[in-house]
């Protein structure tokens, strides 16, 4: 099978603006992935979370982790065993997470997502992941998993 480039993997991630939380994949191999994203001040969720003191909701941070560590990384790993056309027929579903939140992400913050593969088998992926602020502090981290299922 053909190994996909970082740009090809990003292009195959089904989430799009305004719900894509990956600007660029900076590192990618069989064992890990790294991406970056800048939370734009005009993201719709800041309007109500919290007026006058906006912070990124935890569910959005979890989605940010999932898009890089489960969806994008899963696409890359699947490309090792199946053709691109077949990968496009899969939908990656989030299945589990054990994540600890330890910092706040604010409008304008640049974050880095790092994920290390624990396993990838039968199109199920599990990783250890962390979301880091620009100063290197951890905003959230833990294990997260998902699986690719054929779209109907």
The residues assigned a catalytic role are 49
Taking the C-alpha atoms of residue 136 and residue 138, their distance in angstroms, rounded to an integer, is: 6
Query: Tokens 């799009």 belong to which residue?
Result: 16
Q: Look at the block and give the residue holding tokens 């593969």.
A: 117
Cα 137 from chain centre: 18
Return all residues near 31 (Cβ < 8 A) that are at least 6 apart. 116, 117
How many other CB atoms sit within 10 Å of the CB of residue 118?
Answer: 13
């Amino acid at each position: 099978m053909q190994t996909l480039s970082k740009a090809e993997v990003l292009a195959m991630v089904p989430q799009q603006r305004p719900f894509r939380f990956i600007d660029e994949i900076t590192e990618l191999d069989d064992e890990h992935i790294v991406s970056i994203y800048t939370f734009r001040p005009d993201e719709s969720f800041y309007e109500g979370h919290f007026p006058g003191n906006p912070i990124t909701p935890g569910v959005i941070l979890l989605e940010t982790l999932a898009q890089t560590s489960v969806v994008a990384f899963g696409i890359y790993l699947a490309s090792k065993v199946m053709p691109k056309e077949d990968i496009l027929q899969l939908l990656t579903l989030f299945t589990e997470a054990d994540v600890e939140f330890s910092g706040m992400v604010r409008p304008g913050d640049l974050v880095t997502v790092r994920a290390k593969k624990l396993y990838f088998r039968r199109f199920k992926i599990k990783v250890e992941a962390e979301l880091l602020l620009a100063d290197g502090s951890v905003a959230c981290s833990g294990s997260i998993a998902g699986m690719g299922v054929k779209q109907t």
